[in-house]
Amino acid sequence: MTTANAVFLFVLAVGAGFFALNVQRLVAYLRLGQRENRLDHPLVRIKNLLSIGIAQTKIFRDPVAGAMHATIFWGFMVLTAGTVEILIQGVFSGFSFALMLPRPVYLLYSLSQDVFALLVVGAIAFAFFRRLVLHPKRLEGDHLEHLDAYLILGMIGGLMVTLLLANACFYILDPASIGPEKFVSRGLGSVIGRLDPSPSTLAPVFWWMHALLILTFLNYLPYSKHLHVATSLVNVYLSNTSGPGQKGVMKPMDLEADVESFGAADVEQLTWKNLLDGYSCTECGRCTAACPANITGKTLSPRKIVINTRQRLMEKGPVVTGDRMEFLRPALLHGEGGDAGATTVADVAAHRLLDTYITEEELWACTSCRACVQECPVSIDQLEIINELRRNLVLSESRFPEEVQPAFESLERNGSPWAFNPGDRALWAEGLDIATMAELAERGDRPDVLFWVGCMGSFDDRAKKITVAFARILKACGVNFAILGQEEHCHGDPARRMGNEYLYQMLAKDTIGTLDKYAVKTIVTSCPHCFHQIGNEFPQLGGNYDVIHHSTYIERLLQEQRVPLSTDEGKRLTIAYHDSCYLGRYNDVYDAPRETLRRALPVVTLVEPKRSRDRGLCCGAGGGRMFMEERQGKRINVERTEELLATGADAIAVACPFCMTMMSDGVKAVSSDVPVYDIAEVVAERLSTRA
Amino acid sequence: MPHILVFAETRGDALRKFALEAVTAARALADGLGGEVHALVAGPPGIAGKAAQLGQYGADVVVTVEDASLATFSREAIAATIAERARAGGYRAVVLGFSAQGRDLGPRLAAKLDAPIAADVTEASMSGDAIVVKHPAYANKVIVTLELSGPLAILSTRPSAITAAEKPRTPRIETMALASPGAAKVTVKEVVEGGKGKIDLGEAPVIISGGRGLKAPENFKLVEELAAAFGNAAVGATRAVTDEGWRPHSDQIGQTGRQVSPQLYVAVGISGAIQHLAGMRTSRTIVAINKDKDAPIFKVADYGIVGDVLEIVPALTTAVREAKSHH
Amino acid sequence: MKIAVCIKRTPDSESRFKIATSGVSIDETGLKFDLDDFASYAVEVALQLNEKQGPGETVVIAVGPDSVQETLRKAMSMGVDRAVHLKTDVVPPDGLAVAKALAAELRGGGYDVVLFGKHAFDTSAGVVGTATAELLGVACVTAASKLDIAGGKGTARRELEGAAETIEFTLPAVVTIDEGIARPRYPSLKGIMAAKKKPLETKPAQLGAPRVKVKSMQLPPDRPPGRIIGEGVAAVPELIRLLQTEAKVL
């Protein structure tokens, strides 16, 4: 071992050691969080890792930035092998993978290093161009965020350049040392060779620069948003946002637990996975750019929620773990307003994630549309953090917008978020000859399917028309169905979305009791919120039913040709279908409503608004926002309505009563007279007169 | 001889409309008993001039209590005075109006005289020895018939439920000094009339509410004028117009605003969305004015007029003013 | 301050009512009962007074059968310290009798303020609070829409028809609370859990012999279905006529 080797070994030890200390520290902070098992369903997790992580599927949702990032990422992965080789060579000069690999494999490996180094240089150049010249809106952070980005881009670029230059110089000094597969290095070497025929100093200098850059880069990670380099693949594996299990299901809560507080007010009440999400955020801003609240000028930014979680953990972690190594404390706590400026331990104790970092206003602005979760390339679950903080606000502190209180009280007293008489629930069915479960049970009879109407469909004048339309379709198809009538009451989803888990569980358990009393197996509903709640969240409380949304159900009926449709052409319509968040992003139902429209209207043109399907913009009513005032910025429903109207469609179609209200209001607000229909109404309108 | 004592409430120097209604109710009871109606009126000097009007509606005796301190409603002194008279006079019942002051006065009398009380009464009659009254309970959803036993009962009558009827006679006047029940525990510091003391939406017997059908914020003036014509009306608004900033959020009636239940609700240019209905459906009488005959508001309105609100409301204002001037 | 709030358990105001077969009460099947709205404002005012004035005690009292205990617990889940249940099988429609029972409990209790709701949903009579005050011989302000209490005195605002009174009063006092003064807080889960352990004392209600009884109950005649009475300005005279004669609101 030469002196150089010994020095390098020392440097390596220090660099690696320092990194290990930081890793240990960061892991210790994660332990502050609640426990959670994320090692179940390994096959699904591996699939996610391969597609979202390795194949970068979510990154490519932005094709240009996606190509750029994928290049850098794949380059990184490929070049890691080379990095290992170089670090070993630093200690054992004679080492090479050529000694271990079969020749063809080694050649391929060697070629890949060169090619990717060049590709990455190109991608980095584009990245600089993008930040400096193109200024994409979602990358607008504070000066520290920019500095961080330039440092990283610079270091990566530097790594590639020093690698190529080192190889080039070694090639000049000893052409045999760089194989012909390394055509980039060789090419570069030919050029440099004309300037300096014997770069005997430069070669090792470039090599050392490269090696030191590796160690610098590594140790910079914990202080940078680029920590995601270390955590993102792990985060994707451990995430549930693309399964395993049903998407968009809120975490179960044990209300009997003898705990001081419910939900989360600070980082220890989040799970270690939420905290890992904090580490993994690259501040790319795709979530915030897709957030309907943020787009319309509210203070909510999903990116900020995640960064704040990390900032708070970095603020509190050292104090709780008794970490005395103050100089290890990250200085670059930047982004989204900076950290809360704690200078003493007392400050840290007085702060918490809720209020100090994340305000009520932000939390209540969320429509739970899941666009942020959909976009995140490292599978962060922003919504989970928002929901846990909401639970704390409501259950522990009774803090929520005052206009929500009547909704809670009405749910408790009347079983509906609006103050309507429960006795009026089935008035829409008068004269339609629809049996109730109770009536059938009295005769010892049971229907094939229960039509769950929902509160909107039972009480709202506009939504009642949807209910009647769907009931007519069911009758025309001879479906053996019944309704709960006055025995139906809200399943509690609005309460749950607004953080009131206590009220939710009361209503949900009672509903499960009623459904089980009648041994209900199959349910069809025209409301996506009811669909999601009963079908996907009830199992948490022991209610297991097969629930179908009416768009899927009608499509099935149409496919089976059971729907007696009029034979004439019907109106020539251009329709813009508005995707419901709880149907679409939550349950992947995008095609059924569209197919339904196509089958029902033989001459129809479907046009897609700019943001469509899994990028569809929320109507603004989800997450309990239907029951809240919108006080800031532009109205979300107007933003979406304008987008739908911009398609030039003759009509807007929806598949959700909340969307119906929001789009109808939106159309009126912009003084348009474009009609809004539910897909059930479109089909019912086409029922042949014999039906 | 069983007489009926009526407390005839005044404001300023005028008798309240419901005071005459109370006299009418007392008259019916007295006729049933073969007794007299004694009306007690209390106020600043000069209030005795109301005796003739009370006689017009059937008072056989008018007890006048004049005192300078009665420029404001000294409830403790008035209660003590009525109780003193009631104890002295051999009455079967004391009748008063179920007004804001009457609600305060009635129970005081009941406790002072140890007499059962029935409040918010719409009918009163004798049934043998007992007094039988009707009272709308549970927000007017159930009519309860109550029987009050014992030698004396206190009844307060719901304003506008009984139609004042003229049964003219010349009353005997008796004067009485205001009782002084010791140091006042409750004193009126000031009374603010009308505009400044804006009627709270929850208190107003009449609410005129405007919606988007008014087209522009300036047109809310028409709603305000209609409210002014009623005199005791408050102005409400729908979420649509408060969101636009035409009216303050505190005026919003609906699911996320105020829930109200006035005697009369006039919905002007309001379509009747579920959010709004949740705030006013329990109003006793609902009038709707809207240009769209299919507007959901017409389903809950007792009386609806289809047409241009900007034309109809001014006409209605004039007509209401006309009708009120006959009071 | 030591504050008592007298509350009532009433059916939900959205309910549809049916008369029981006895004909002298409502049919309670399917009805949801809860803390009366105005009583809940009074509870909120009591809690806010002590939050503003510094430490004190709040007590909630109700007259009725065992079912009122649920309502007392609800008030405690909002933050009231303890509860007293004055037990009787049926609450008589005799407001003075109920006032006597409450006065017996409150007398000698050293309360600075006793709050009631302005009236309760079922009777909307507003009798009990004022009668109780009179029996106790203390100051009484009814239907306060604004309330300030400090240093042994209080100021309140009362809405009259088309005017407002500002009242000053001495302590001890009974105040009945109007709406708009305070929004009753929504009990947090913590409050609900804590309420289960707070003290609730039961005693018999000393009502005496009630002198008001229900003779019968009926449902009012069906509201005639609404109708569009006309179009345009021409319909106005008819509307006036109907408002005067039929609806009797003009």
How many domains does chain C contain in total?
1
**Would you say B60 and B171 are in contact if contact means Cβ atoms under 8 Å apart?**
yes
Strands, sheet with C212-218, edge to edge from the N-terminal-most edge strand: B123-127, B130-137, B142-148, C212-218
Q: Neighbours of A (≥3 Cβ pairs closer than 8 A)?
A: B, C
Q: What is the mean pLDDT of chain B?
A: 90
CB contact, 8 Å: A416 with chain C? Answer: no
Q: What contacts 24+ positions apart, CB below 8 Å, involve C19-23?
A: C19/B142, C19/C217, C19/C218, C19/C219, C23/C216, C23/C217
How many domains does chain B contain in total?
2
Beta strand spans in A368-458 (E): 449-452
Clarify whether residues B32 and B170 are in a common domain: yes
Cβ-based neighbours of A432, under 8 Å, separated by 6 or more = A468, A471, A472, A475
Q: Which of C189, C192, C219, C223 to mutate to test the interface with A (most CBs of A within 10 A)?
A: C189
Question: What percent of chain A stands above pLDDT 70?
Answer: 97
State the Cα–Cα distance between residues C174 and C193, nearest whole angstrom.
30
- The most distant pair of C-alpha atoms in chain C lies apart, rounded to whole Å, by 66
Which of these, B279, B239, B282, B238, lies nearest to B255 by C-alpha position? B279
- DSSP string across B35-59: --EEEEEEESTTGGGGHHHHHHTT-
Clarify whether residues B152 and B227 are in a common domain: no
CATH architecture assignment, domain A573-685: 3-Layer(aba) Sandwich (3.40)
Which amino acid type is present at position B150?
G
Which value, in Å, is the radius of gyration of the alpha carbons in chain C? 20
**A456: closest chain B residue by CA:** B274
When CB atoms are compared, the residue of A398, A413, A423 closest to C187 is A398
All structural domains of chain A with their residue ranges: 3-30+62-223, 267-397, 405-559, 573-685
CB contact, 8 Å: A258 with chain C? Answer: no
pLDDT recorded at residue A339: 66
CATH architecture assignment, domain A405-559: 3-Layer(aba) Sandwich (3.40)
Location of structure tokens 């706590």: A333
State the Cα–Cα distance between residues A363 and A302, nearest whole angstrom.
10
State the Cα–Cα distance between residues B239 and B220, nearest whole angstrom.
14
Burial A135-152 (b: 16+ CB within 10 A, else e): eeebbebeeebeebbebb
**Would you say C51 and C83 are in contact if contact means Cβ atoms under 8 Å apart?**
no
**Would you say C193 and A398 are in contact if contact means Cβ atoms under 8 Å apart?**
no
Give the pairing type, strands B3-7 and C227-231: unpaired
Is the backbone peptide bond immediately before A593 cis, with ω within 30 degrees of 0? no
Confidence grade of residue A102 (pLDDT, cut at 50, 70, 90):
very high
Confidence grade of residue C163 (pLDDT, cut at 50, 70, 90):
confident
Q: Which residues of C touch A397 (CB under 8 A)?
A: 188
Which of these, C237, C214, C246, lies nearest to C23 by C-alpha position? C214
- Residue C248: left if φ>0, alpha if ψ -120 to 50, beta else—which one? left
Domain membership flag for residue B185: no
Q: Which chain C residues have any C-beta within 8 angstroms of a chain A C-beta?
A: 12, 14-16, 32, 34, 183, 185-192
Domain range enclosing B124: 3-175
State the Cα–Cα distance between residues B228 and A554, nearest whole angstrom.
55
- H runs (alpha helix) in A281-404: 286-290, 292-295, 302-321, 345-350, 360-364, 371-375, 382-391
Helix A63-91 to helix A143-173 angle, to the nearest 10 degrees? Answer: 50
Clarify whether residues B148 and B73 are in a common domain: yes
Domain membership flag for residue B131: yes
pLDDT recorded at residue A336: 47
pLDDT recorded at residue C96: 97
Q: What is the mean pLDDT of chain A?
A: 93
Give the number of other CB atoms < 10 A from CB of residue B192. Answer: 14
Q: Chain B to chain C, count of Cβ pairs less than 8 Å apart? A: 273
Which of these, A143, A90, A129, A86, lies nearest to A109 by C-alpha position? A86
Q: What is the mean pLDDT of chain C?
A: 93
Q: What is chain A's percent helix, strand, coil content, to nearest 5?
A: 60, 5, 35
State the Cα–Cα distance between residues B126 and A470, nearest whole angstrom.
58
What is the ipTM for the molecules in this complex?
Answer: 0.90
Cβ-based neighbours of A507, under 8 Å, separated by 6 or more = A411, A415, A489, A490, A491, A492, A495
In sequence order, the β-bridge partners of residue C158 are C144, C165
Give the three-class secondary structure for A678: strand
Is the backbone peptide bond immediately before C187 cis, with ω within 30 degrees of 0? no
B54-80 pLDDT tens trace: 999 999 999 999 999 898 889 999 999
Location of structure tokens 């139906």: A488
Is pLDDT at C161 greater than 90 in this prediction? no
Determine the average pLDDT of the residues in B111-128. Answer: 94
Q: Which residues of C touch B281 (CB under 8 A)?
A: none
When CB atoms are compared, the residue of C14, C186, C192 closest to A408 is C186
Domain membership flag for residue B191: no
pLDDT recorded at residue A31: 96
Which amino acid type is present at position A113?
Q
State the Cα–Cα distance between residues A543 and A493, nearest whole angstrom.
14
Clarify whether residues B45 and B140 are in a common domain: yes
Q: Return the ∠ at Cα A509 (arms to A504 and A512), rounded to 5°.
A: 125
Six token digits for residue B34: 């073969």
Cβ-based neighbours of B190, under 8 Å, separated by 6 or more = C165, C166
Domain membership flag for residue C31: yes
Determine the average pLDDT of the residues in A365-374. Answer: 98
B153-184 pLDDT tens trace: 999 998 777 888 999 999 999 999 999 878 88
Contact at CB, C219 and B147, closer than 8 angstroms = no
Give the number of other CB atoms < 10 A from CB of residue A3. Answer: 7
pLDDT recorded at residue C162: 60
CATH number for the domain that contains residue B113: 3.40.50.620
State the Cα–Cα distance between residues A636 and A638, nearest whole angstrom.
5
CB contact, 8 Å: B256 with chain A? Answer: yes
Domain range enclosing C118: 2-204
Clarify whether residues B284 and B157 are in a common domain: no
Q: Cα-flanking dihedrals φ and ψ of residue B309, to 5°?
A: -60, -30
Domain membership flag for residue B138: yes
Q: Which of C14, C41, C179 to mutate to test the interface with A (most CBs of A within 10 A)?
A: C14
Clarify whether residues B127 and B216 are in a common domain: no
CATH number for the domain that contains residue B297: 3.40.50.1220
> How many residues would you count in chain A?
691
CA A81 to chain centroid:
31
**A405: closest chain C residue by CA:** C186
CB contact, 8 Å: A395 with chain C? Answer: yes
Determine the average pLDDT of the residues in C72-96. Answer: 97
Give the pairing type, strands B142-148 and C212-218: antiparallel
- DSSP string across C157-177: EEEETTEEEEEEEESSEEEEE
Instruction: State the number of CA atoms in the 13 A half-sphere of B163 facing the CB.
Output: 9
| Same-fold call for A405-559 versus A573-685 | yes
Confidence grade of residue A333 (pLDDT, cut at 50, 70, 90):
very low
Which amino acid type is present at position A195?
L
Strands, sheet with B264-268, edge to edge from the N-terminal-most edge strand: B233-237, B206-210, B264-268, B285-290, B303-306, C227-231
C165-224 pLDDT tens trace: 999 999 999 999 988 788 899 999 989 999 999 999 999 999 989 899 999 999 987 666
Domain membership flag for residue C211: no
A485-537 pLDDT tens trace: 999 999 999 999 999 999 999 999 999 999 999 999 999 999 999 999 999 99
Clarify whether residues B25 and B169 are in a common domain: yes
A623-663 pLDDT tens trace: 999 999 999 999 999 999 999 999 999 999 999 999 999 99
Range of weakest confidence among A103-107, A280-284, A352-356, A416-420? A416-420
Is pLDDT at A385 greater than 50 in this prediction? yes
Domain membership flag for residue C13: yes
Clarify whether residues B109 and B233 are in a common domain: no
Which of these, A353, A380, A358, A273, lies nearest to A34 by C-alpha position? A273
pLDDT recorded at residue B327: 55
Clarify whether residues B83 and B28 are in a common domain: yes
A556-604 pLDDT tens trace: 999 999 999 988 877 788 999 999 999 999 999 999 999 999 999 988 9
- The CATH code that applies to domain A267-397 is 1.10.1060
Cβ-based neighbours of C129, under 8 Å, separated by 6 or more = B107, C6, C99, C116, C117, C118, C140, C142, C174, C176
Determine the average pLDDT of the residues in A315-338. Answer: 63
Give the DSSP H/E element, type plus range, for residue A559: helix A550-559
Domain membership flag for residue B93: yes
Q: Neighbours of C (≥3 Cβ pairs closer than 8 A)?
A: A, B
* Last-in-domain residue among B175, B192, B223: B175
Six token digits for residue B243: 């969101």
Cβ-based neighbours of B97, under 8 Å, separated by 6 or more = B7, B9, B16, B18, B19, B21, B22, B156, B157, B159
